């Protein structure tokens, strides 16, 4: 069977950027930066981008391009059985993340509809937990399917698996070529509108005000590295899979820089938009920004609905665009993460794309129903906690240590990348991968282990 390929270079970049830009850019980055030094956070952040994010992105692009397989097959071709398991581990982490990532997209989709008439009412927190997620279910009822979540969730999976069924070029590439430019336009409108609200400047001041003491704190550096990994979707086997569909002649190093900077630009924009809106909220409520600043579920589904409630003039529009942005950003990431295990099992077991999508994607979709039940948020927290603690950092650490120190492939990969790219990889790349990244990730793991014993 001939291997699928991207139609154009822009198509591949769109897809890689689509994977990178996700919920993390919108609801995670602004608060992580704010909490970890504000304007000063950009120092560890840029450092992490240049010593871990982009170098690992180059590594994964090179592995996929050279060995032309999904992660397990690529690692197998690199060094046989003793490397294949790294690919499977990453594939497993991807599978687990996809199961709950889909659920959040389903919430965002539902909230897009709620935005039209602010169906959440005044008490947005009570609405989220009691009415929408039904966490206050009567004992005995816990575990029943919540249809308001189930239906959008089914839709999320139908869209995602439908796109994957259509293939790499006609499905994933086409979808990203439509979704990503749309997302950028919609999100720009959200940001510009937020910037024109009363109090926006107070929010920006809170976001950018540098606290230089913070950068002396190792935990701030750990936060920067942790965020870069998640945000760039590296160490999940995704970027290996995507680059395995590249044509032979592709400037992978340059592509990695473009992907990395596009992703960071988007999150900077998100930081500005989110904090401008938070400044407005704080202004409205007469409280400091610190009282309303938060991340994740609380930011998107409690605070943003409040902001939308307070909106001057017609408020439905802003809400619709905001939740649509979350939905689009999420869908393009979910596609990439699902493609990772679809490709993995299809190659391992010689299955057609259709069968692999049906089995792999179907299984993930079935498991995710668990989160569409009363009490589902509990499982979601649990999965998120363990995956973030032991999934990402651990896979990243094993990946770089194995490739550089155990399998000793850094030189081979470096010359492969250099033979097809304009930008030449030098010592910077090897030092980043072989020394800096392992030290930081090792520290992260060690710190986390301590955290768990306590
Ligand atoms: N990069 C995505 C984000 O910022 C998250 C993600 C991680 C998506 C891993 C897929 C795989 O939200």
Which atom of ligand 1 lies at the shortest distance from residue 25's CA?
Answer: 4
Tell me the CA–centroid distance for residue 337 and ligand 1, in Å. Answer: 8
Tokens of 270: 């998100």
Name the pTM for this structure: 0.94
Asked if 153 and 369 count as a contact pair (C-beta separation under 8 A), the reply is: yes
Q: Tell me the average pLDDT across 114-142.
A: 85
Which atom of ligand 1 lies at the shortest distance from residue 20's CA?
Answer: 1
- Mean pLDDT over all residues of the chain? 92
pLDDT tens column, 157-189: 999 999 999 999 999 999 999 999 999 999 999
CATH of domain 9-453: 1.10.4160.10
Tell me the CA–centroid distance for residue 283 and ligand 1, in Å. Answer: 32
- The pLDDT of residue 293 is 95
Tell me the CA–centroid distance for residue 92 and ligand 1, in Å. Answer: 15
**Across 6-20, 183-197, 367-381, 419-433, least confident range:** 367-381
Tell me the CA–centroid distance for residue 372 and ligand 1, in Å. Answer: 21
Q: Which of 17, 23, 393 to mutate to test the pocket of ligand 1 (most atoms within 8 A of CB)?
A: 23
Which atom of ligand 1 lies at the shortest distance from residue 238's CA?
Answer: 11
Tell me the CA–centroid distance for residue 254 and ligand 1, in Å. Answer: 21
- The pLDDT of residue 69 is 97
- The pLDDT of residue 78 is 97
Say which residues have a Cβ less than 8 Å from residue 292's Cβ, sequence separation at least 6: 278, 281, 282, 285, 303
Q: Return the DSSP state at 36.
A: T
Tell me the CA–centroid distance for residue 216 and ligand 1, in Å. Answer: 28
At residue 136, does pLDDT exceed 80?
no
Ligand 1 pocket, residues with Cβ under 6 angstroms = 19-20, 22-25, 97, 230-231, 233, 236, 238, 333, 336-337
- The pLDDT of residue 137 is 64
> Atom 9 of ligand 1 has which residue's CA nearest to it?
233
Say which residues have a Cβ less than 8 Å from residue 314's Cβ, sequence separation at least 6: none
At residue 288, does pLDDT exceed 90?
yes
CA–CA gap between residue 75 and residue 69 (Å, rounded) = 8
Which atom of ligand 1 lies at the shortest distance from residue 21's CA?
Answer: 4
The question of ipTM being above 0.85 is answered as yes
At residue 80, does pLDDT exceed 90?
yes
CA–CA gap between residue 447 and residue 225 (Å, rounded) = 13
Asked if 437 and 402 count as a contact pair (C-beta separation under 8 A), the reply is: no
Point out which residues pair with 404 in neighbouring strands.
none
pLDDT tens column, 386-423: 666 566 678 888 999 999 999 999 999 999 999 999 99
Residue 360 backbone phi and psi in degrees, to 5: -65, -55
How distant, in Å, are the alpha carbons of 115, 310, 391, 433 from that of 307?
A: 11, 5, 34, 43
Tell me the CA–centroid distance for residue 329 and ligand 1, in Å. Answer: 9
Which atom of ligand 1 lies at the shortest distance from residue 94's CA?
Answer: 11
Strands (E), 309-348: none
Position 139 confidence tier, pLDDT thresholds 50, 70, 90: low
- The pLDDT of residue 230 is 84
CA–CA gap between residue 1 and residue 4 (Å, rounded) = 9
Point out which residues pair with 145 in neighbouring strands.
373
At residue 73, does pLDDT exceed 70?
yes
Position 441 confidence tier, pLDDT thresholds 50, 70, 90: confident
């Amino acid at each position: 069977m001939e291997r699928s390929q991207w139609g154009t270079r822009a198509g591949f970049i769109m897809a890689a950027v689509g994977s990178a830009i996700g919920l993390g850019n919108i609801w995670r980055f602004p608060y992580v930066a704010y909490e970890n030094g504000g304007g000063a956070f950009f120092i560890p952040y840029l450092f992490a981008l240049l010593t871990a994010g982009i170098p690992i992105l180059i590594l994964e692009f090179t592995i996929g391009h050279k060995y032309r397989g999904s992660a397990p097959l690529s690692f197998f071709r690199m060094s046989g059985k003793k490397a294949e398991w790294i690919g499977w581990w990453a594939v497993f982490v991807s599978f687990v993340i996809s199961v709950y990532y889909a659920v959040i997209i389903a919430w965002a989709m539902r909230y897009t509809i709620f935005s039209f008439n602010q169906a959440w009412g005044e008490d947005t927190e009570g609405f989220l937990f009691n009415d929408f997620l039904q966490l206050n279910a009567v004992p005995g009822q816990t575990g029943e399917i919540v249809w308001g979540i189930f239906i959008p969730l089914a839709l999320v999976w139908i869209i995602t698996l439908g796109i994957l069924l259509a293939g790499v070029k006609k499905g994933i590439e086409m979808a990203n070529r439509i979704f990503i430019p749309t997302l950028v336009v919609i999100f720009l409108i959200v940001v510009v509108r937020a910037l024109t609200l009363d109090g926006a400047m107070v929010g920006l001041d809170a976001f950018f005000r540098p606290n230089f003491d913070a950068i002396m704190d190792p935990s701030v550096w750990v936060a920067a590295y942790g965020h870069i990994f998640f945000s760039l979707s590296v160490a999940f086997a995704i970027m290996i899979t995507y680059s395995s569909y590249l044509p032979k002649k592709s400037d992978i190093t340059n592509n990695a820089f473009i992907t990395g900077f596009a992703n960071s630009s988007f999150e900077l924009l998100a930081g500005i938009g989110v904090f401008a809106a938070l400044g407005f909220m704080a202004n409205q409520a007469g409280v400091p920004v610190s009282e309303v600043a938060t991340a994740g579920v609380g930011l998107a589904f409690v605070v943003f609905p409040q902001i939308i409630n307070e909106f001057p003039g017609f408020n439905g529009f802003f809400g619709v665009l905001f939740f649509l942005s979350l939905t689009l950003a999420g869908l393009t990431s979910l596609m990439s993460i699902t493609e990772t295990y679809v490709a993995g099992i299809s190659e391992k077991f010689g299955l057609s794309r259709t069968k692999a999508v049906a089995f792999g994607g179907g299984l993930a979709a079935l498991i995710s129903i668990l989160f569409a039940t009363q009490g589902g948020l509990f499982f979601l927290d649990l999965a998120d906690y363990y995956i973030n603690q032991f999934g990402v950092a651990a896979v990243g650490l094993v990946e770089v240590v194995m490739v550089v120190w155990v399998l000793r492939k850094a030189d081979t990969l470096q010359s492969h990348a250099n033979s097809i790219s304009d930008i030449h990889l030098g010592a910077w790349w090897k030092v980043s991968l072989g020394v800096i990244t392992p030290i930081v990730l090792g520290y992260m793991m060690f710190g986390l282990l301590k955290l768990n014993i306590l």
